[in-house]
Structure formats: C-alpha cells, structure tokens
Chain A
Amino acid sequence: MNDDTDTTISDGPPPFDNEPKAAPSDDTMIAAIDDGPTPEPVGHVDLAAIDAVTQADPALFENENTKPPFSRQVMTTPLHFYVASESLTNLWCHWNGYTVAQCLTSIEDEYAALRQSAALSDISPLVKYRISGPDALPWLRRFVTGNLETLLVDAIIPVVFCEDRGFVVGDGMLFRLGDNEFRLITEETYLAWLLDSTIGYQVHIEDVSTTLAAMSLQGPLSCTILAEAGLSGIENLRPYSAHWFDVAGMPVYVSRSGSSGDLGYELWLDPDDAPSLWLRLLAKGKPFGVKPGGFTLREIARVEAGIPRAGVDYLGVFSAIDPQSVLTPYELGFSALVDLEGAHFTGRDALRAAKAGAPRHILATLAVDWYQPLRFTAIRDASSIVGVVTSSVFSPMLGINLAMATLNPSAIVSGTDLHVEAEMRAELSLQIVKVPARIIAGSALLLPARHLVPAPLGMRP
C-alpha cells in the first residue's frame, strides 16, 4: 500500500525474503523436494504468503504491495539494465509484458554473431512453472501428450499439452530437476489450466517466472565461450540435458537447448546473480566475437528452425474465440510429441480419432524465394486463398524469405502451385507481387553441431 520506495537499495532487509522458507505445514505438497541437489532459489515468496491465507492454495494471494497496474513503470527483466547498456539502437519491444530489446546493435551483426560465433540474449520473460510433489510425475504424464519414460533427472524434452478434445492448449520445454521436481518453460501463461488439472493429484505448481532469470547463448562457439567462462566439462553436456555448474561461485543450471537450430545453451539462475553472469559471458566471449542479441534475432532463428510460437503461430484453445481456429498437435506439426500408446493423457481419446481423420489445417514453414524482405498478405493456389501467414522473416543465411503459415490441407497436395502475395512498398508507391512459395519439410535451417557430443570446442575464429 505504501511501499513504493526503490527496492534496489539493499541496506535494510529486502521487502521480500528470497531465502527458501521452511516447508509449509502441509508436508504432502513439499516433502521430498528439499533434499534435492541444488540450492536453487525458487520463489517461495508467493507460496508463504498464500499458505498463510488459504492453506496451500498456490493461486490465491492478495498482494496489495505491488504498484497499481496503471502506474508509470517499465516492466523489466533482472537483466534489463545490463542489456540496455549494450543498446546502440534504443529499439525496444514487448515480450510477455516485459520491455525487451528488439535489436541492440544491428540485426545483421547480431545474426552474423549467432551463426558464426555466438549471440547472448536475455530470455527471462519466458514463463516458468515449478511442478513438484509426490504425484508430479504421474500428473505430468497425464498432462502432456508425450512419453516421459526417457525424462531422467537433468533431462529436457519438448512437450505439448491438450484439453479433452485434443486441441492444443500450449507447448513448452519440460525439465526434470529431481525425482519429484520439474520445470515447465512456456511462451504464454497457463496457470489456470495447470491448477484446474491437478484435481485428484498431490502436486504443487507455482509460477516462478519472476524468481528465475534466464539467458540464452546460441551459436557455433557457444560451448567454447562457456568453457572459457569457467564451465568446465560443458562440452560433454548432451543435447536436451542440463547440469548444475558453479560459475565464479554462482550456481547456474545450464541446459543444452534453445530455439536457434544450432549448438546452444540456456542458463537459468538467481536474478541477483544474472547480471554478473551476463557481464562475464560478454567479457569472456568478446575475443570470440560474441554479441548480445535482441528479440528480433530470436524470432529469425526460431522461424529458421521451424519452431512455432504460441499466441503468434497458433492460438491456445482457451484464447481462440472462433472454435475453428484451434489446432491439434498433428495439425501443428507436433506429431512426434504425441504418444498414443503409453499412459493416459488428457485428449488421448480425441487425438486417436484426430490422427485417423483428416487434418483441417496444417502449420508449415514456407520458403518464399525472393532476395529482399517482403510483407506477406495472402497465400493462394491457382484459384483461392489457402492459408494465412503467421510469422515471416528474411533469413540472412539462406538469403530468402521464410514464413510460418497455417494452410488448408489442400494446399500441401504435391503439385499445387502455391504463391504468396506480398506488398512491395517504396515511399508512396505500392505494388502487390506474387511470389512462388514452397513448403519446407521440417526446418529450414538445422545445423549439425547441435547434435555433436562432445560439443565442438576451441574453434578460434
């Protein structure tokens, strides 16, 4: 109500105590977690407040201390100040309610660093859920469509989750931090669905987005730079696995993951430590040509890698007003993430039917062969509009335009003559051009280094 003072001055006790609190009295929720291997600073702040009020309902809390929603404030990540100091362009954009850099230097330079050396980005705005409790694994088995048998501790898998009718609610990356502790990283928030689906399980879910900072180092030299920064043995980290490293006294959870289609790592750590790790990686990486990257770089890389983004390339079933706009995992190209034979999961029966039936839409990546960036309007075949473009980028590496598009199934019949309408604008003149387009099976750009173990190390420029 009154605490609007600047909290960065830390003489007195901080307004929120970030030390893990003693486990709440309801030991079924938290038991078996505290002996995990890590001092991970997870967000017990909300939990403690909640438990006092509502006996462990993690969602109900009144936090009258926050500034009113209309107050003039920039919502920033823990790294904002340090990212901002790298900005030569002063270009900003919005990601999940946070102000993040759109582009820090120039997109060409950032992209060159990503593909030739490495690019470091702040990915703290991603939504992070901590899932724990004795039933965490069985609950997750029912929650996501995939098979979790291979998900050992410190492994990561991409997951997609559906509602009863088999339509996609969202997708994300699932980390296993311990026997009964998991972390789900998503693009959008799904807390209501997560909590609603816990009925009948002893599982505890909390949003730890604000208590966990994250940065992403992607590119062929990313392993080299991390090794240089003191993460010894990093080269042995296998793709889609993670490990705790001590970096100059900071515990950092490092996963070999990312959305660039190349070798890359994501680093998860306490927000208080994040700035010094950021600075350290930039300093150690400088001789190798590392560059800080902005949001646009992430978008280009993910479209090149063929990764759809929730809320942009598809709408989750709970946000789509038109029932026709919702998609199944098959329609989204997530077939590999669906295991119809294993344990029951939400939407399995519907997906069995969906798999047998014909898709209504298909999300695909289109290559549009044109040497300049284009603005797309409609996708047509010989006679009619057959799809909508949801994301489009110009790939500097491939030298063509790439678009993620939702297409009618008829559009992918081989031999269909697809083309994209694009507007070419030069000052006051506007031209609508038709450019041939072709569907790319899989990703437009996947680089072999992402699979190599040990990861390529020591390739000096």
Chain B
Amino acid sequence: MERHEAIVIGGGLNGLTAAAYLARAGVDVLLVERNEVLGSAAAGYEIEPGFHMSRFALGTMTLPARTVFDLELRKFGLNVVQLDGGVSLMPDGRYHASYRDGLMYRRELARHSAKDADAWTRFRRDMLRANLSLARALSEPMKNPSRRSFSALRNLLGSADRLAAMPSDDMQDVLKIWTQPCADFLDSYFISDVLKAHLAAKALGGTTLGPYAPTSARFLMNMFKAESEGANGGAPATVLAIGGSQAVANALAASIEANGGHVRTEAEVTDVILRDGKARGVALANGEEIHAKAVLSDLDLKRTFLALFPWKDLPKGFVERVGCFRMRGVTAKINIALDALPQFSALPDDCPALAGGVRAVLPMADLDQAFDDWRNNMPPREPLVETLIPSMVDRTLAPHGKHVMSVAVHYVPETLHDGAWTQARKDDLADLAVSTLAAHSVGLKDRIIALEVLVPPDIENEVGLTAGDFEQGEMALDQMFFNRPMPGLAGYETPIDNFYLCSGSAHPGALETGGAGAGAARRVVSALGKSAAAKRGLTP
C-alpha cells in the first residue's frame, strides 16, 4: 500500500504552496488533484487552438514575492513582470490611468485634481502603514482566543496592552480603515469622482461588499502589497506571470518534485480514511487507498467536511456550524479570443498603463446599485467589468497579432431570483459585459473569435469552489483572523486529528495567496515532529 508522511488534497495555489513548503522541510508529501491540470482556479486552457489563458481567475500574479523566493520558483521557470496598474474607464468617457512612476502618477492625478495629486501621498502612507501592521499580524501564527490555555490568554492580554499603548489617533486610523464604508473613507481623502470610482472598483472587485457597506474600506489597503509597490510613490502595479497563472502552478509543482515530493493529477479523493477518529489517509475514486500521518485539504471548508466525511463521524453540531460559513460567488468570468488588439477611444494612443488591465468602472452610487442587484440575486444592470489582455506582454499566449482577453464581471450572483443560469442568460451577461467594454472600444465585438462565459455555478462545477466563491469563504470581519474558518479552528487544525485545512477557507484566506498553505505546512511540520533544522527551511 502506498504510504506518505503527508497528503495534500487539491492542487490549487494554497495546496501547491503547502506541499512545496512541506517538501522543502523534508516531508515526504503527495499532492493529489482531481483534474488533469494543476492550479484549480489558477488553471489555464486553450480557448481556441493557439490561444492560451487563465480559465477561471483573471490571471494576475498574486503569490507573494517572499513565497516565490522561499520556494525558488524563479529557478523552476517562473517569470514575473510588473506592469502599470491599468486603466479605469468611466461610463461618461473619462478615464484614470495608474502609473507606477510617482512623478507620472502625480501628473495623472493632477489631471483630475491638484489637491488629490497631493492627497495621494497621505493616502498611500496610510495604506502602507495599515498594511505593515496587517503584515505583522499575519506573520504570527493565529491563536484561538477561546481555547483555555495559558499561552492563548497571555497572547490576548498582550494584544490588549499593545492596543492600549497605541495613541488614540492611531487607533482611530486603524478603526477607520477596518470599519468605514469605502466611499466615506475615500471622501475623506479625495475629491475627484473618477479617482474614487477607480479606487473603489479596484478594491471592491471580487469582494462581497459594496462601496457604502461598513467595513468595505479595508479592501483598499490590499492593493498596496510589497510586490506591487510603485516607484517613488506611484500607483500600485499589476503583476503578471509569464505563461499565466498556470505557469505559477507549474513552477510550484516543479518545486515540490525537486524537493522529493510527489504530484498526482486525475486522482479524485472520495473519502478521508478515519481510524479511532483520526485521519489515516485518503481513498481515491478508483478505489485505491493511500495512507499518511497527516492529511491536508485544499478544498473549501464546506466541500471538505460535507463531502469527504460521513457526517456521523463529525462532532455534534459541527455540520451546522460548517453550514453557517458564508460562501457566495460574486464573479463571473468571460474568456475571449481576439483577432486584434482592441483600441480604447478615450485613452491617449500608446497609453502604457493599458497593459495592466482595463476596468469599466461605475460612479459610486451605480457601483452600489450593482452590489444591491447581486444581493437581490439579479445580474447587475450596470456591471463592474475588469479585463486583462495578458497577450500584450506575454506574446506566447496567442498567435502573432492576436490576443486573449480575460474578463471578470463582478457582483454576479450564484443563483438568480427568477430561475437558473441558462445558456441564454449567460449569453445575456456576456453581451452586457462586452457591450459595456465596446462602449469604450468601437469594433470590439467584431474582433471576437471565441468566447466562453463562466458564471459562479460553472465555477463551482468545474473547479469545485462551493458557490463559485473564489475566496473560499467571504472575507467578512466575522470570518477573518481567529474566526476563519470559525472560532476555535484558527490554527489549521480541525476536529479530526491529523487532518488540516490548508485552503483559502483558513486564515489568512484571500488576504494572501498561498498564505493558508504556508501556514498549514508550518503547523504540519511541527506536528510531524520534524527537526528544528527542517523547520528552518520554512518561512518564519
């Protein structure tokens, strides 16, 4: 019988990251993936012969630079480029372009408002400060405050003291960014509606909150990652992996195998083998059983516990608590092959920011309307559309002169209030999104060679993300930090011994791609009693 030290179920970026860190720490790890290709939501495909693109995700590179460095992904073929931060187009034809260079960006901001050009300095400072304190919080393992242990209590009392030592202005700054509505927060810095619409769209696209909802301001700081930090105070950059997100998955797999781990695709796990209430391995769909001392799941919380286990083996009340975990799809994906590069009439010729993606953004009230449509299970009447044409930079993706365009439509509900997602309604959605873009780009429709629409239920079926939720559980305050996936389960452990959650449903979730994988790997290495030397191979 096949036997490993650890098994990772699912080859999404978190699962791959977990396996790669485990392999580096000397753990004999096997990663099993149901599909033919690795990457899960990051997987790529050929939409038409010769047109390669990320099928589900937009296709930007989100893995932190630290992970790329730790796992030597550059050595395993990953090539990352930094681009300007893209262009936002308002329905009335005005636009805002994000330049990485601070001097250029200042001139762009001054085009909207001289005051905003200056206010940007302070906004950026506040975002970077907030991100620094968040990064500090993420670098420590999350403790369960409810577990009655001396260390947990000491931890809590320590944070109480740290909080108390903060000047109250600083504390209010923290509270503001974590609790205010995005729109109010932006209003306290800026006056240009174009700039505010751009920032709100960039921050809120893919989240389950609208611009007027409390606690939506915090998504603004997620844009200011170290990887996307512009030069001399410019706008955050778009980061792209050459070869698309599939290339990231491939590099991770190469890293796993180079460190003695194993990766197996087309192997679907049907059950986790339990003995004496402890996980002992997995059973595959083909009847094969593989044993291991530790099993990690890269599936979301609901899929993990509602599909891999008989409910009777779970503690009383646990299934209900899993059921309360909110997972809601918000994004539809449209993949398009184009026979030429679209031109955007509002933009000046050769705008370098174009490569970083084009957004059709909405004034704040309309953005909120799109959000409310989503809450009411309606397709958005005016959609927030985000696109990326990676073939502008990565020429290997499409035949010469032709392009692939990755389109994300935000605030698209998983279920409709008046029936199911039929092909006709999917086509309507695609038509709406393409028309929205075509309003800025005459002739776009005529350039389309091929088009595929994936609404949240499609994403659920194809990738296995419950409700089509890319974040594997809403990133709401009550489902973050020690509450992720639920209070009492913050440390990647589960009620089943030897069974760990390493997916985005675990802390830090969507705050950091691969973060949950790295954290779970650290937890498993210490559980397996690996030597201190091996542990040092992991990021602190």
A contact residues vs B (CB 8 Å cutoff): 46, 57-64, 66, 68-71, 97, 164-165, 189-193, 195, 207, 318-321, 323
Contact = CB atoms under 8 A, between A and B. Distances in A.
Contacts of B111: 62-64, 66, 69
Contacts of A57: 191
A189 B112 CA distance: 16
A69 B125 contact: no
Nearest to B192: A60
B128 interface: yes
Nearest to B167: A165
A70 B99 CA distance: 9
A319 B125 contact: yes
A69 B105 contact: yes
Interface string B350-364: 111100000000000
5 contacts: A63-B111, A193-B122, A319-B122, A321-B129, A323-B170
Contacts, number: 79
Given A60-B113, A61-B113, A191-B115, A321 B348 contact: no
Contact of B351 (A63, A70, A97, A195): A70
B496 interface: no
A59 B113 contact: yes
A64 B132 CA distance: 36
A59 B170 contact: no
Contact of B114 (A46, A320, A323): A46
Given A63-B110, A68-B108, 4 more contacts: A58-B115, A60-B115, A192-B115, A321-B129
Contacts of A323: 129, 170
A-B complex: 6 closest residue pairs judged by Cβ atoms: A59-B115, A192-B119, A69-B107, A192-B118, A68-B348, A318-B122
Nearest to A66: B111
Interface string B106-145: 1110111111111101100100110010000000000000
A190 B117 CA distance: 10
B19 interface: no
Given A70-B352, A323-B129, A62 B118 contact: no
Contacts of A190: 118
Contacts of B170: 323
The prevalent SS among residues of B at the interface is helix
A70 B104 contact: yes
Contacts of A70: 99, 104, 348, 350-353
A319 B232 CA distance: 11
A323 B165 CA distance: 14
A198 B48 CA distance: 59
For B117, B125, B132, B169, the residue with the greatest tally of chain A CB atoms inside 10 Å of its CB is B125
A423 B115 CA distance: 42
B104 A69 contact: yes
Interface of B: 94, 97, 99, 103-108, 110-119, 121-122, 125, 128-129, 132, 167, 169-170, 189, 191-192, 233, 348, 350-353
A97 B104 CA distance: 9
A318 B121 contact: yes
A46 to B, nearest CB: 7
Given A68-B351, A191-B115, A192-B115, A60 B191 contact: yes
Nearest to B349: A68
Nearest to A209: B114
Given A60-B192, A68-B351, A323-B170, A97 B115 contact: no
Contact of A195 (B94, B115, B167): B115
B452 to A, nearest CB: 34
Contact of B118 (A64, A69, A71, A191): A191
Contacts of A165: 167, 169
Contacts of B97: 68-69
For A64, A191, A193, the residue with the greatest tally of chain B CB atoms inside 10 Å of its CB is A191
Contacts of B108: 68-69
Contacts of B103: 97
Contacts of B122: 192-193, 318-319
A321 B114 contact: no
A275 B172 CA distance: 52
Nearest to B119: A192
Contacts of A319: 121-122, 125, 233
B118 A189 contact: yes
B129 A69 contact: no
Contacts of B129: 321, 323
Contacts of B189: 192
B113 A71 contact: no
B107 A321 contact: no
Given A57-B191, A60-B113, A321 B125 contact: yes
A195 B113 CA distance: 12
Contact of B125 (A46, A61, A193, A320): A320
A321 B126 CA distance: 8
A62 B121 CA distance: 20
A318 B115 CA distance: 14
Nearest to A57: B191
Given A165-B169, A321-B125, A323-B170, A69 B113 contact: no
Given A46-B114, A59-B191, A318 B125 contact: yes
A367 B20 CA distance: 54
A96 to B, nearest CB: 9
Contacts of A321: 125, 128-129, 132
A59 B116 contact: yes
Contacts of A59: 113-116, 191
Nearest to A321: B128
A193 B351 CA distance: 31
Nearest to A127: B118
A62 B116 CA distance: 12
A49 to B, nearest CB: 11
Contacts of B352: 70
Contacts of B191: 57, 59-60
A162 B350 CA distance: 42
A8 to B, nearest CB: 21
Contacts of B350: 70
Nearest to B99: A69
Nearest to B194: A62
A165 B170 CA distance: 11
For A61, A66, A68, the residue with the greatest tally of chain B CB atoms inside 10 Å of its CB is A68
Contacts of B192: 60
Contacts of A71: 348
A193 B191 CA distance: 13
A263 B114 CA distance: 35
A191 B105 contact: no
Contacts of B348: 68, 70-71
A193 B119 CA distance: 8
B444 to A, nearest CB: 22
A301 B113 CA distance: 35
A321 B226 CA distance: 13
Nearest to B191: A60
Nearest to A191: B118
